[in-house]
Amino acid sequence: MTGMSPSARIAIYDLDRTVLRKPTFTLFLLWAAAREAPWRLLLLPALAALMIGYALRLYGRDRFKPAAIRLMLGGSISPARAGRLAAHFAAWRVPQDVPPGAAACIARDRAEGYRLLMATAAPEFYAGAIADALDFDAIVASRHRRDADGNWLPGLDGPNCYGDEKARRVAEWLAVHAAGGTAHIRAYSDHTSDAPTFALADEAWLIGRGEKFIRRAAQHGWHAADFEDPAAGSVIGAR
């Protein structure tokens, strides 16, 4: 990755419900199980129980995600298997699940010289394939442990890349690639949990549809955009 000039521009995009319409984590687990080991779909009641426990806050994402991965994908994923699954999943989701406004903003930011950074809590091994399919320059995502043979393991390698942790990881990346703090930064996300990342940006865009999102964005001093609107790119570009 190369250094950046003082006039650098960076656009930070969340993944789920921002770049893609549908959340990817559970969808990926179900898709991968159906593709490779349909018998694991018999374990859906156990997955539902895990999800209910998480919804009831009996445990956090750092426990839920490894348990769900182990249940639906097994105790390890070889690099070849991970790469194959990630590439096929990305090809399934891109471009069909990319809202027109997201596609327009990504194209506009790239044309304006912005470096595209995807920042997501999704596992890096498949989120990276989605970022590649969309021609992003870099990604910050949840890391998972690897064994001595390079196999992916269900356990997280560090905290889940969400909220304050995502902002910390983004800040680390910016410290290396943001031209000494002089870059112009745009950030896009559908959720207020990304407020810490928005705080790093010159332009913060809350993505959603309807008055609720507009009011929520205004309460925080953010802009609002609807990525289902193909004209979102021109609206944001006019700011």
User: CA nearest 3: which of 179, 172, 155?
Assistant: 179
Confidence grade of residue 1 (pLDDT, cut at 50, 70, 90): very low
The mean per-residue pLDDT over the stretch 59-80 comes to: 96
To the nearest 10 degrees (0 to 180), the angle between helices 44-55 and 61-73 is 180
Is the Cβ–Cβ distance between 188 and 14 less than 8 Å?
A: yes
Name the nearest CA neighbour of 15 among 175, 191, 174.
191
Query: What's the predicted TM-score (pTM) here?
Result: 0.94
Residue ranges of E strands in 134-218: 138-142, 144-146, 152-156, 184-189, 203-207
- Note the pLDDT tens digit of each residue in 11-32: 999 999 999 999 999 999 999 9
- What is the pLDDT, as a whole number, of residue 177? 86
